[in-house]
Structure 1
């Protein structure tokens, strides 16, 4: 039998992710706050646009969500019209939102009360990874739910890993964002120094990328950073949301993140420059600012 899935939230990530499910042969229903977006998706991929969450999740095997933040998750999961109340027993609920570990643990408990499985599965790879089906997914949940969910997530991912119980996926995503924040700031300072020193920054990158300084950010973002092009990629507003989650969790578990806190403030400077939707690599622009 064909597996059925509902996808809730068709933003820049969810839209192509749901598309990969449809192209893989699953029967897919979608819901989005903007109805026109759901209808556009249904026309493009041949699935079903639903007017309510309850309609979308009724009787399905899997429910995927990719929304904005904790409050959005609570809104779509809880209440009489939400996912938990309307998805069937035995359904696996997979959340791809980057959110707090606390909300993941809360939703896992509530879904278990309805005999549903829950996986928190934040992703890394950005819009390009979603479009190409090459995301990395960090999962939290029980092993049986993960075993059922993994083959479905494989349709839009290149790597899917269970990191521990509910909340572990979100905590792993925090580690990812902490590492990226420091890397992007270091690369920004390095390129700025090269420019100020009168060096050809592109040639410098070509040389140092063959050694210990190499990173994904250097390989994929140094060229656009040098050119001052930032209308792409993971937005500064989203990164600040994620870093806020990291810093909140760090305070809760008594972890010290001095560089992360500083870079978060630097992204605030970029927002003040009007770079809210610029790629995270735009940190270099605050160094260039006279």
Structure 2
């Protein structure tokens, strides 16, 4: 069992840290709103710290799951950042979805201090975090990955090394590109069925058994039909991720015309007041 720190007690980080504690690890948590860290410690019996540096002191592994590039820099850098408290040979594991550029920047800073760095963005949403069934996409050295993979297993259904530092974030971008296109297609399909006077449950029962079937169709068609969009990953966060995708595509010369269009559709949802709705809310533009 390892001594760990976990930075970020949001809807993803708090249950992930809980799985680590349940697996028997010694876990100290940090959150910018200290009350959330205190609440986690009260619930799980772990410890909490006032700063990332204090949380990271003496830890073999430091996990982070925060909001964006700037949030990640804040918890890593500076006199009270995690890097200032980490011992040489410790490994920093970033579960945040951020740009590959900030990943490489922070990895260089960590490595200069003798600290390992694995970018490990996640997919599976709040339910996946709560159930310990996340997909974890990693970039880093084989040595660092080999050390941290058994720890990540506490909340992962699959955890793979995809390449050097940054490869995890690029893979997460592939994930978001695929999801965006799929949700838009599903939204159009369900809206078309509804306006054509068909029963959506019957339609989905039939088409889900063939090539059109997907996790989104099986798990979201009912709530999309009902206009209920309170199921985790928010439109505001999806737009953040798609901006990362589009910027990275420009860097490598990739064309993402459908992704760019769906990003604007999510912008429409934001204008409708749906910034905190989940990503299946694309259908709200069509019905």
Is TM (by shorter chain) over 0.5?
Answer: yes
Alignment of 1:78 with 2:77, yes or no, is: yes
TM-superposed deviation, 1:228? 1.2
Asked if 2 retains the 8 angstrom alpha-carbon contact of 1:21 and 1:28, the reply is yes
Q: Given the two structures, how large is their TM-score scaled by the length of structure 2?
A: 0.99
- Aligned positions, number: 287
Structure 1 residue aligned with 2:26: 27
Q: How does 1:245-256 map to 2 (within 5 A)?
A: 245-256=244-255
Q: How does 1:22-101 map to 2 (within 5 A)?
A: 22-101=21-100
Structure 2 residue aligned with 1:12: 11
Tell me how far apart the structure 1 counterparts of residues 210 and 65 of structure 2 sit (CA, whole Å). 37
Tell me how far apart the structure 1 counterparts of residues 183 and 213 of structure 2 sit (CA, whole Å). 12
Asked if 1 retains the 8 angstrom alpha-carbon contact of 2:119 and 2:169, the reply is yes
TM-superposed deviation, 1:51? 1.0
Moved more, 214-223 or 158-167: 214-223
Q: CA RMSD in A?
A: 0.7
TM-superposed deviation, 1:44? 0.4
Asked if 1 retains the 8 angstrom alpha-carbon contact of 2:139 and 2:161, the reply is yes
Structure 2 residue aligned with 1:202: 201
Q: How does 1:105-184 map to 2 (within 5 A)?
A: 105-184=104-183
Asked if 2 retains the 8 angstrom alpha-carbon contact of 1:135 and 1:157, the reply is yes
TM-superposed deviation, 1:233? 2.0
Tell me how far apart the structure 2 counterparts of residues 262 and 77 of structure 1 sit (CA, whole Å). 34
Tell me how far apart the structure 1 counterparts of residues 155 and 280 of structure 2 sit (CA, whole Å). 25
Alignment of 1:103 with 2:98, yes or no, is: no
TM-superposed deviation, 1:86? 1.4
Q: Which runs of 5+ in 2 are unaligned?
A: none
- Tell me the secondary structure at the aligned position of residue 155 of structure 1: coil
Alignment of 1:3 with 2:7, yes or no, is: no
Moved more, 229-238 or 167-176: 229-238
Q: Which runs of 5+ in 1 are unaligned?
A: none
Structure 2 residue aligned with 1:281: 280
- Tell me the secondary structure at the aligned position of residue 12 of structure 1: coil
Tell me how far apart the structure 1 counterparts of residues 24 and 273 of structure 2 sit (CA, whole Å). 42
- Tell me the secondary structure at the aligned position of residue 274 of structure 1: coil
Tell me how far apart the structure 1 counterparts of residues 252 and 202 of structure 2 sit (CA, whole Å). 43
TM-superposed deviation, 1:49? 1.0
Moved more, 225-234 or 191-200: 225-234
Moved over 6 A (4+): none
Q: Given the two structures, how large is their TM-score scaled by the length of structure 1?
A: 0.98
TM-superposed deviation, 1:142? 0.3
